[in-house]
Structure 1
Amino acid sequence: MDLIKKLQQQLQALDDKQLIRKRRTVDSPCGPRVSVEGRELLAFCSNDYLGLANHRKIKLALQEGAAIYGVGSGASHLISGHVRAHAMLEERLAEFVGAHLEAPRAISFSTGYMANLAVITGLAAGDKEAEIFSEELNHASLIDGVRLARVKAHIYPHADLEALAKLLAGSQAATKIVVTDSVFSMDGNLAPLPQLLALCEQHNAWLVVDDAHGFGTLGEKGHGALEHFSLRSPYLVYMGTLGKAAGVAGAFVAAHEAVIETLIQKSRPYIFTTAAPPAMAHALLTSLDLLEGDEGATRRAHLQTLVAQLDDGLRLERWRRLPSTTAIQPVVIGDNAETMRAGAALYQQGLWVGAIRPPTVAPGTARLRVTLSAGHSSMEVAKLIGALNALERDLK
């Protein structure tokens, strides 16, 4: 009982600081309009950036995949779980982003978290003298990948190219790995990928790019941050997630074929995990076609229109909207308690917006993380704008 009491005290301490996290149960498909525990809400907290999670064509493809391949894969990829659907998806993904890579090949994973653990530990595997250079605001999965690699790691300040250049110049490691988000998940801004790549090429370092929030939304064809910046290099190792803009589930890593074969042989998160359901891979083939086609382009254009509308409509004085041209539109409030009150007030008005507090963000920077979707209408975004402008005044 002493152990339970200790946990209860720790939980109470979190609650006292307004840091307790709570789940809400959704009773409807993912989308901008959802049913949550008996209430109909307008959701501005999902990463379904293009509104594809409930797309009819993808749902039909998932049903077809289940009819062809069944439900489970039954084993890891290296035993008997690598089904034809997985192979077809990996070939399609390599083609999807391959224009930006040398000798491109792709490997699929069940989650983006797993993919990031795999790529960082895999690149550093067997080289105790390797060094990793990680962006200050990287996602938790990248941070954990760096920790699990068990090699020397450097954290460089957010978007500080000069600091990174000095670190790389001072390193004698034969294997150098620079790791960064493309779109930072809590700020919505983009990493300076062209300059980062130039540094990596100059210092013979890998550039691992986590494009979780850029894949599908950035670039003319939705090919992501590499297309957005028109990058191409054999030094690039690209991770994209398939449960956000792509609307389904999973993730992948694309890079030179030697990198991918190394991950297959050395990455424990890949080797020792049951493969994802093949029906998901089958559905993702349809999703990729939508992303690349006219419908994807139309949805991306509408999303940018909504981003501009929010930027133009917010009239904040105490709170601060961070500069972002992506679907992630943070409104920094600062105080944990006020952020929670703001989130609760919006919820009472039928607007579901994520209230983000430490340790996800730095102390004193608690925020409302507004995420826009191509599934939102301009009238719905106008409703959110009006609510935020009024709420900032009312909570003084």
Structure 2
Amino acid sequence: MKRVFLNAICISILTLAACKKKEPPVNTEVPVNLYKVKARKVLYYDQYPSTTAALSQVSLLPQVQGAITGIFFTEGTHVKKGQKLYEIDRRIYQDTYDAAVANRKVAEGTLAQSQQDADRYEYLNKYNAVAKQLYDHAVITLQNSKSQVQSADQAVKTAKTNLAYAEVYAPFDGTIGFSQVKLGNVVSAGTTVLNTISTDDPMAVDFVINEKQLPKFERFQQQKHAPTDSLFTILLADNSLYPINGKISVIDRAVNSQTGAITVRLVFPNPKGMLRVGMSCVVRVHNQEPGPQIVVPGKAVVEQMGEYFVYTAKDSLMNNPKAGADSVKNKIKKLVAIQKKVQVGETVGANMIIKSGIEDGERVIVDGVQLLHDGSKITTANKMGPSAGGKGAR
């Protein structure tokens, strides 16, 4: 019984010793990949959603009432200024004009008779050979006849204008849309829309900017007579680049007090009619920053509460746990992550421009930043990628 008890004690001691077997030390260094910063010239564009618009656009309204008797254009095509587009039934307006001309002739005849009578009575009045009343009546009749001729002239002009309004002409060169009326439709003066015509060359492109960008675009506008190179270009809805560059034309008169935005208008030549009114596109404004700029991969930048940071690698001397306290080799060089606040610029593809906060030549941590804090120990001797499985980037 005593031997059994001693054996149990021995087994317990051996088991406890096995449990206290020394485990390998945990590696506290975070595996990362580094990117050495080198300033370089960067080509990028500020992009703004935009819409094409006509410099001039008008809805064609008839000035007289009547039935449409003629349509003289092809819908959706380019028309010239002064080209005849519609004809409204001219017969009633032609009759009115002819009647006005005839009335004017009657008034002119009456005027001629009144003039003769006035001249005769004026001669007789000099010799007191006619009653004063008859002379006065002759003078008044002459004035009335002159007024009737003037009234008849105005009636002829009005009738002629209405007759001319029976034909509708293009007010300027441009593209005409679908006709809103067909042959035989009766239209009302000033209310029935016949069609819409808009200029098509050049074409305007409107987009909205923040008021903070207004000084930059005002400088662009002041330099509008200088060669524009590729300062303003547009991407069409299919992501193709429009082959002709534009220039700044107009900046709206006021900033929207609620949104802090203001509209800018560019003008693009449109000789082949590729641009149509109302198209959605993207305005690209070529960057004008001179000299090289610092660019880092976008995944290296961390945003915290509206501020931006990157981690850089710094060499630091630390105690060597394998060396004795009195050893001359008790210090070893290790990499440490240092958090730095930066001011970011534009995003260029997968990269981001850094305006300030880091300098040329620094080593930026691009992978493993989620596991870091200021002062973290790091290593680049990783066999597995810090972000996911696989081999780490060299």
Same fold (TM over 0.5): no
TM-score, length of structure 2 as denominator length:
0.19
**Structure showing the higher strand proportion among its residues:** 2
Q: Which structure is higher in helix share?
A: 1
Query: Which protein has the larger Cα radius of gyration, Structure 1 or Structure 2?
Result: 2
- Normalised by the length of structure 1, the TM-score is 0.19
